[in-house]
Amino acid sequence: MNILVIGTGYVGTTTAIVFAELGWHVTGLDTDAQKIDQLKQGKLYFYEPGLEELLNKHLQSHQMGFTTDKVKAIQENDVIFICVGTPSHADGSADLKYIKQVTEDIGQIMNGYKLVITKSTVPVGTQEQVVAWIQAAQLKSHPFDTASNPEFLREGKALQDAMNPDRIVIGSNSDRATNMIQTLYQSVKCPIIVTTPKTAEMIKYASNAFLATKISYMNELARLCDPLGVNIKEVAEGMGLDPRIGLSFLQAGIGYGGSCFPKDVSALIQAAKTNHIELHVLEKVVYVNQTQHLWLLSKARERLGDLANKKIAILGLAFKPDTDDIRESPSIRLIESLISEKADVYVYDPVASLPANSHFKSIKCCKDMDEAIDGADALFLCTEWSVFERIDWAEMKAAMNQPNIFDGRNVLDAGKMKDIGYFYQGVGYS
């Protein structure tokens, strides 16, 4: 089977590369000619460890290719993965305009049987719309099946997750489609869940919403641990050893970000409202996440007083390490708050950067840590890049105007930092 992946964003590019690695011939299709040209040259336009090496490997072996020619791509491939974006409307609901456009293209262009698999994260019931859109667009009736096959990739660990997944979810009402998808994944060893399209779509949303809930729960608990003099890191360890809870996603910090959790939680809340259901827990999850950085900022005010004209160093723009993704990053929310208080903000990240058209005109983006930290009155650590743990903090202390560290990821050893002479404040850990 030859595979077409429509949409060469983060998920689509990763999906295409991984299926090539699994031995299938893959074509990536996108309307963005610049993006396609870059991929053809073996250049990954986003940062993700290990992917660019595989991209070049499979381009050289002709196991994969990229194109903007949708007619040829759709007609020459029987298995089509939809990996286009589903951005949020103003009310938080998912915008399916790109899904609709792609499915209409498939309907108009298809020249025989096609298996259309939605890998994009979409609201429950979308698969039924996909069928209707394809049928309405067909110029000549051709057989087709549809299925939902949601992705569960972590940015920074996408290759690892794709090659060694926790599970594969197949949502389909067709035995033929199910068997074809199982064949595509035949060399991958993990549990396979075969269910209805609606259930598969809900599994994706429910998974991300639950992980976001764990994060916000620990972040809110950390606020209580601080005045009680309790170490949230030890609390997390004690909780996580219970197999019913688990250790993952119990790390307190300044909140979650990225392209998935904020968007997916909002979409699920909006879907509930449409069905006259209130998801009170998830509404609070969002509130805690949006205000978590303000809690740490209040600690800085207690220490420094008025932040106006004080130099504040920000270490980390990306919402997590091993990615250059700054979408919904807590660091950005913190920067916005600091700017509103007229602080002088200096930012450093080893990989991520602000876009050229960024509205943050008043901040200084630094090429190295020394520039960001030199003369700073306070430092906020916002992304747990490993390089930050290896800093010679004793040397850095001498460069700061005031040795104040606000660790938004609880990365550093509080005791060691205090021994060096820093004022150290973590999140529920000081």
Among all residues, which ones are annotated catalytic?
A: 260
Q: Nearest 5°: phi and psi at 147? A: -155, 160
User: How many CB atoms are closer than 10 A to CB 369?
Assistant: 20
User: What are the tokens at 160?
Assistant: 């690892």
| Packed helices 97-109 and 126-137: angle between N→C axes, nearest 10 degrees | 40
238 to 4, 154, 231, 235, 426: CA distances (angstroms):
46, 25, 11, 5, 19
Planar angle of CA 171, 182, 121, nearest 5 degrees: 35
Coil, strand or helix: which one is 42?
coil
| Alpha carbon distance 240, 234 (integer Å) | 10
Distance of CA 25 to the CA centre of its chain: 27
Distance in angstroms between the alpha carbons of the first and the last residue of the chain: 56
| Alpha carbon distance 422, 129 (integer Å) | 58
Residue 4 is given by DSSP the state: E
For residue 99, give the nearest of 62, 73, 50, 132 by alpha carbon: 132
**C-beta separation of 363 from 345 below 8 A:** yes
Pairing of strands 404-407, 423-425: parallel
**C-beta separation of 147 from 198 below 8 A:** no
User: How many CB atoms are closer than 10 A to CB 21?
Assistant: 18
Coil, strand or helix: which one is 313?
strand
Residue 348 is given by DSSP the state: E
User: What are the tokens at 238?
Assistant: 């004690």
Under 8 Å CB-to-CB from 253, ≥6 apart: which residues? Answer: 215, 219, 292, 330, 408, 409, 410, 427
| Alpha carbon distance 240, 261 (integer Å) | 21
Planar angle of CA 418, 422, 426, nearest 5 degrees: 75
For residue 221, give the nearest of 157, 132, 285 by alpha carbon: 285
Residue type, 305: G
